[in-house]
Amino acid sequence: MNYDAFAGAALPVSLLALMGVALWCRPAVRHARVIREGGTVFLSETIMHRAYSWIDGLSAIGARQGISADAISWLSLAFGLASGLMSARGWLGGSAWALALSGLCDGLDGAIARRSGTATAAGAVLDSALDRYVEFFFCAGLLVLFAGQTYAQLLVLVTLFGGFMVTYSTAKAEALGIKPPRGWMKRPERLVWLTGGAALAAAGQLLCWPLSYTLLGTLGVVAIFANLSAILRLRALVAATTSKT
């Protein structure tokens, strides 16, 4: 029995069930960060508002239990490493679950820090740095998985580079005191698409669908729109800095 394929199928089913329960039981709560950053066709504001509501609820529990934000950040890294190791072995269902849990921890650490009054610049730097390692671990695992497949490995590298450049453009804008323009494939969107792609690739094996088809298709979407977003954002930053001089 292919347990990893069932794990991949279980992830989207579980998330849809949670979304349904949230829509049925709780009124919509709008979060300032989501409104500020906005949604895109790749991840809607509605889903982001719901996700932040779940994170707020979990952060309240974590703060009451005295869990530190840094501990959650390191836990996110551990899940990211596990995701990379499992993707290297071709266990994409398990990898998707680990990546999803890493993303949950990524949102939870900042929420706990703000709720407990322990938010610091050092914590923010640690969180941002560990996020890059999580993406690297997952993509490094895919490089191993696609050993001997040059074009697939190149696509993985382009995907990783696009994600880093989107993050770089945001950091550069903040350093220059410029509001970064909205764009596609920010960190939450990349995480959702990579997690979903891995889960569906694993689940597709139940239908004898080669896992590489779904996975490479997802990587292609992220690679194209992340790099295009980075280029547009950097062009906007250049224009903004030029107008200031």
HSE-CB for 16 with a 13 A CA cutoff: 6
Q: Which residue has the higher pLDDT, 144 or 65?
A: 144
Q: For residue range 106-154, list pLDDT tens digits in order.
A: 989 888 988 888 888 888 888 889 999 999 999 999 999 999 999 999 9
Question: What is the three-class DSSP state of 176?
Answer: coil
Could you tell me if residue 31 is inside a domain? yes
Structural element, H or E, at residue 210: none
**Residue 32: predicted pLDDT:** 64
Could you tell me if residue 4 is inside a domain? no
Angstrom distance (rounded) from CA 195 to CA 103: 9
Could you tell me if residue 101 is inside a domain? yes
Task: Of 2-6, 76-80, 154-158, 190-194, give the lowest mean pLDDT range.
Answer: 2-6
Confidence of residue 175 (pLDDT cuts 50, 70, 90): confident
Confidence of residue 25 (pLDDT cuts 50, 70, 90): low
Structural domain harbouring 115: 21-244
**Residue 56: predicted pLDDT:** 80
Could you tell me if residue 15 is inside a domain? no
Angstrom distance (rounded) from CA 158 to CA 222: 9
Residue-wise DSSP of 125-153: HHHHHHHHHHHHHHHHHHHHHTTT-HHHH
- CATH (domain of 98): 1.20.120.1760
Question: What is the three-class DSSP state of 67?
Answer: coil
Could you tell me if residue 167 is inside a domain? yes
Could you tell me if residue 13 is inside a domain? no
Mean pLDDT, all residues of the chain: 86
CB 80 within 8 A of CB 102: yes
| pTM, rounded to two decimals | 0.89
Q: What percent of the chain has pLDDT over 70?
A: 89
**Residue 26: predicted pLDDT:** 56
Could you tell me if residue 1 is inside a domain? no
Could you tell me if residue 8 is inside a domain? no
Query: In total, how many domains does the chain have?
Result: 1
The whole-number average pLDDT for the span 47-59 is 78
CB 100 within 8 A of CB 11: yes
